[in-house]
């Protein structure tokens, strides 16, 4: 458990802004924004409405989940949310209005594509009788990866009138693997806090074996690039190496910023690498 000095009000204004950026889920929303942009920019599409829709839907949904599951979060985070409740409510309300605005920019077909990915998350988070997926051991990680991959690959392509090709499905599976790998440090961090019923990878296999599994998934992620018609070997190699380092260095007693900021920043770094590659 974190000591009070790690989250008290004596921190500097800059640190409080930084903490709000991370723990209000703006950072994770920016990560999904960047993953959408990677999908589109890589095929020469520059529109932003789809990425902004995903940004605000992520921001709103993650904050709603936090409010609904306050009893399960760590004590320091509960205190932080309590101190910033009004700002979080305002941010969520603002996100809702922007989400409505960008919803009107979407095609009906794209909205329909979102349904399975949204339903997967909904049935996991909310305890709907006979439909709740929370009791299915080991499912959490794969639902997150499935939802992120679908929302950041399939959804933006359909929204932009693209017909899905074999390369797009490979990209979907690569994104699925990538999200699994960058989620593992979170599961390692929470291994002593998560319910035993969740049966996360670290709970089932231990931390060392879970890291090996993650590294094997990254190898598959890299190899799959050779089966695509348009490839980004250098960029994907760099992001695979950075992901591997983040995975290997993750521990149970990691800093509260390690996963929440550094690991979550990998999609942002990936997007910057894609932009740099295109511009050179």
What DSSP letter does each residue of the chain carry, written as one string?
---GGGTSTTS-HHHHHHHHHHHTTHHHHHHHHHHHHHHHHTTT----HHHHHHHHHHHHHHHHHHHHTGGGS-HHHHHHHHHTHHHHHHHHHHHHHHHHHHHTTS-HHHHHHHHHHHHHHHHHHS--TTT--TTSTT-HHHHHHHHHHIIIIIHHHHHTTPPP-HHHHHHHHHHHHHHHHHHHHHHHHTTTTS-GGG--HHHHH-HHHHHHHHHHHHHHHHHHGGGSSS--HHHHHHHHHHHHHHHHT--TT--TTIIIIIITTHHHHHHHHHHHHHH-
For 44-70, how does the pLDDT look when each residue is reduced to its tens digit (9 = 90+)? 999 999 999 999 999 999 998 888 777
For 133-188, how does the pLDDT look when each residue is reduced to its tens digit (9 = 90+)? 555 656 778 888 999 999 999 999 999 999 999 999 999 999 999 999 999 999 99
Predicted pLDDT of residue 135 = 55
- Say what the pTM is: 0.90
Q: How confident is the model at residue 232 (pLDDT cuts 50, 70, 90)?
A: confident
Mean pLDDT across 102-130: 80
């Amino acid at each position: 458990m974190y000591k009070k000095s790690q989250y008290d009000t004596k921190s500097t204004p800059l640190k409080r802004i930084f903490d709000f950026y991370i723990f209000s889920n703006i950072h994770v929303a920016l990560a999904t924004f960047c993953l959408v942009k990677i999908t589109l920019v890589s095929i020469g599409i520059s529109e932003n409405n789809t990425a902004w829709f995903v940004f605000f839907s992520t921001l709103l949904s993650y904050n709603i989940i936090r409010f609904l599951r306050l009893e399960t979060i760590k004590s320091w985070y509960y205190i932080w949310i309590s101190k910033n409740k009004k700002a979080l409510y305002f941010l969520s309300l603002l996100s809702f209005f922007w989400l409505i605005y960008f919803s009107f920019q979407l095609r009906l077909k794209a909205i329909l594509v979102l349904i399975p990915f949204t339903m997967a998350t909904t049935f996991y988070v909310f305890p709907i009788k006979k439909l709740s997926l929370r009791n299915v051991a080991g499912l959490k990680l794969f639902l997150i990866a499935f939802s992120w991959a679908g929302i950041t690959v399939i959804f933006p392509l359909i929204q932009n009138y693209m017909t899905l090709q074999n390369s797009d499905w490979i990209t979907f599976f690569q994104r699925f693997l990538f999200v699994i790998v960058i989620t593992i440090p979170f599961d390692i961090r929470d291994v002593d806090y998560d319910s035993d019923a969740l049966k996360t990878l670290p709970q089932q296999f231990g931390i060392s074996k879970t890291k090996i599994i993650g590294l094997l998934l990254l190898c598959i992620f890299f190899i799959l690039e050779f089966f695509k018609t348009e490839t980004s070997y250098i960029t994907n190699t760099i992001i695979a190496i950075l992901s591997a380092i983040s995975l290997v260095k993750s521990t149970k007693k990691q800093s509260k910023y390690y996963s929440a900021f550094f690991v979550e920043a990998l999609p942002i770094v990936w997007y910057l690498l894609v932009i740099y590659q295109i511009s050179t």
